[in-house]
Amino acid sequence: MFSGVKIRHSAFMNSSNLQKKISNLLFIAKLQIIEVKNVIKALLSLRKVTSLRLPAAAAQSNLGINYYNGTGVSQNKEEAKKWLRKAANQGYENAKQYLKKWFGEE
């Protein structure tokens, strides 16, 4: 994966501190790849919903619910609120109910 990275000084090769840093960087990179995959899954799910000719507001509401619950994406309540508001602003009652229930919004 990181074959282009070369360590020039042999003193660094045996450094457990460097090994830990590299291990941590690889772990973070894996988490970021997983996050990207989850976002792609959510977008594909949204695309599937919209291809079924459901109203855009329904798809936006579903995406908000997914963000709130962390289904297919990392849980993010601010993103949930944003998508639910978009749906609610189009008059979608389901989104309005969730905004009231989860965020106390009317």
Q: Is 0.75 topped by the overall pTM?
A: no
pLDDT tens profile 2-35: 445 555 555 555 567 777 777 777 777 777 777 7
**According to the model, what pLDDT value does residue 14 have?**
55
pLDDT tens profile 57-66: 888 999 999 9
Nearest to 18 by CA among 5, 32, 30: 5
- Distances, alpha carbon 52 to alpha carbons 15, 39, 48, 91, in Å: 56, 20, 6, 20
Domain range summary for the chain, segments of one domain joined by +: 12-103
Contact 96, 89 (CB under 8 A): no
